[in-house]
Amino acid sequence: MGSLQEAWAAILSHPLFWVGMTLAAYQFGLALYERTKLAVFHPVLVSTPVLVLLIWLAGEDYAHYRDAVSPLLVLLGPATVALAIPLYLNLRRIRSFFWPVVVCLLVGGAFATLMAILLAWLLGAEPMIMMTLAPKSVTSPIAMLVAEQIGGVAALAAVFVMFTGVLGAIFGPWLLRICGVDHPAAWGMAMGMTAHAVGTSRALEEGEEAGAFAALSMSLMGMATALLLPLAVSLWTML
Amino acid sequence: MLLRGMTWLIFFQLLGTGLNVLLLPILPGPIIGMVLMVAYLCLRGEVSESISLAAGGLLKYLPLILVPPAVGIMAYGAEIAADATAILLTLAISLAISLPFCGWLMQRMILRQQGRDDS
């Protein structure tokens, strides 16, 4: 018969231990979010510090955790490909406002991205942080890939993106009201483009048209950033 | 059904990975896979039930899939602490300006288009 300590060590070193902890922490975050309906309690933002604390208490490092949860990590690629389906379905909605959407996407998207880089540079951030902040308006799986591609860090991008989404969902409606934006399509477009999925779920509460345009602009902004930002950065570094 | 949709998603992801190495090193593999998937759906003109089932299931749990990479933030404590003010200010200011700007621009473009349609 083994001791209690040996049993505990066996549990800790089981290949499924950290997968289980991740599932538990996520459901804790989800329950908190559904109970309160507050954007600050976004499940990713709640479960991340919980897991960081658990890993620290267990005396492990991130590399160990990442290896242990690789069954979850490997799904990120197919999930990114799966973003093509809502994008395709939303594309069919674009017809009525084709030019407004295209102009707003290119001008507004370039403006938002350039401003993030410029502000970070003015405030004296490291180049690594600057490149991680650049894709902060797009949905996490795309932002993580793009950040890594242009010299940033995927993990930080995921957190910056969540933070931006939460800020957008909380202050977006108020900012849009004081700027006199009341057309539902424009309202949704702004929320989806700058606050991705978190902004889109807030726009859905506002109405069907706002929600549809938020979903559309989130998909398009993700696609445009994924295609244009790495291109722009590699042109810039060539100069 | 679910398995067939999942197979398509993985197929496009692998195709993207191959093309990334072969032709397009500046675009990440899954992004190329996503673009190809959109092109494929446009050609087909519809989303098959198996693909929509697999994609719906994966996207429903997307936040959970995003937790492990987000935990990676723990390896960058020093970098965040060094630039904390710059990061927070950049995120807050750029959102406060670009969100209303996008809404204002879209609203102006819509009103302009409607004005032209009326005249």
For residue B28, the enclosing domain spans 1-60
> Does a structural domain hold residue B26?
yes
Nearest CB to B70; choose among A86, A108, A155: A155
Residue B14, CB half-sphere, CA atoms under 13 Å: how many? 6
pLDDT of residue B119: 61
Work out the burial of residue A235: count CB atoms within 10 Å of its CB; fewer than 13 is exposed, 13-18 middle, 19 or more buried. Answer: exposed
Contact B72/A154, CB-based, under 8 Å?
Answer: yes
CA separation (Å) from A200 to A23, A113, A222, B29?
25, 19, 13, 26
Nearest CB to A78; choose among B58, B103, B109: B58
Given a contact cutoff of 8 angstroms between Cβ atoms, the answer to whether A225 and A146 are in contact is: yes
Total domains in chain A come to: 2
Average pLDDT over residues B49-65: 88
Task: Reply yes or no on whether the pLDDT at B23 is more than 80.
Answer: yes
pLDDT of residue B50: 92
- Is B56 found in the same domain as B79? no
Contact A82/B101, CB-based, under 8 Å?
Answer: no
Neighbouring C-beta atoms of residue A71, cutoff 10 Å? 11
Q: pTM above the 0.90 mark?
A: no
Average pLDDT over residues B35-59: 90
At A108-142, the pLDDT tens digits run 999 999 999 999 999 988 889 999 999 998 988 89
CA separation (Å) from A220 to A106, B38, B116?
10, 12, 26
- Is A44 found in the same domain as A154? no
Contact A88/B16, CB-based, under 8 Å?
Answer: no
At A156-169, the pLDDT tens digits run 898 899 889 888 88
pLDDT of residue A147: 92
- Is A232 found in the same domain as A168? yes
B101 Cβ under 8 Å from any chain A Cβ: yes
For residue A170, the enclosing domain spans 82-238
Work out the burial of residue A162: count CB atoms within 10 Å of its CB; fewer than 13 is exposed, 13-18 middle, 19 or more buried. Answer: buried
ipTM, two decimals, is 0.86
> Does a structural domain hold residue B66?
no
> Does a structural domain hold residue B68?
no
- Is A90 found in the same domain as A51? no
Average pLDDT over residues B49-55: 91
Total domains in chain B come to: 2
Distance from CA of B78 to the nearest CA of A (A): 12
- Is B93 found in the same domain as B49? no
pLDDT of residue A201: 79
Query: Count of A–B CB contacts within 8 Å?
Result: 302
Domain boundary among A73, A99, A126: A73
